[in-house]
Amino acid sequence: MRIVIAGGHGQIAQRLERLLSAGGHEVAGVIRNPEQADALRAAGAEPVVLDLESATVEAAADVLRGADVAVFAAGAGPGSGVERKDTVDRGAAVLFADAAERAGVRRYLVVSSMGADADHPGDEVFDAYLRAKGAADDDVRARSGLDWTILKPGMLTNDAGTGLVRLEASTGRGPVPRDDVAAVLAELAETPATAGLTLELVSGSVPVSVAVKAVAGE
């Protein structure tokens, strides 16, 4: 398959690129900064330079044409303020979904966050982040033109992945290594029967492939 990942230089995205390219897939990563291109090539992905904060839907659709799966893994990142939580974590996610529909890419994976909720209260930057992610999730869920799956990991760590997870509609809070988040995304990309599901993910005791098959009803 050809898989295009928004936020291609992110920590989860680079792990996902390595897994997908090792699995024989053709992978492209959308980045804003051309200086990140070599890191993507090292991960086995083709770098595509496009700023999703300022791009048109048509420009993003051009990147997605011919893809089998679109993955939204972009984020404003730590240190960014309330405004960029809205322009990236919500706005870019909506733009990328618009572009996927225009390009005819039905399979759409979203890396969201546990606690994401458009009505989340609070005045801190992290509260704004959860509202932005929640609004983006709501937008994607309302689209009949996408076979979407939304993944909400718990607290992300850089611990080595165990390959053992808990993946359910509601897991309760807990940590999860970025390695295992990427492994679940790679499995979801190959499991279209998970379309229409919003899933929470934390570390657990079930192998990734078994956990994904279980939520897919396979």
Positive or negative torsion for Cα 19, 163, 185, 144: positive
Catalytic residues: 129
Q: Which residues are registered as beta bridge partners of 200?
A: 152, 168
Largest CA distance in the chain: 45
Is there a contact between 29 and 72 (Cβ–Cβ < 8 Å)? no
Torsion sign (Cα): 115, 157, 92, 4: negative
Question: What type of residue sits at position 215?
Answer: V
| Residue 110 Cα to chain centre, angstroms | 4
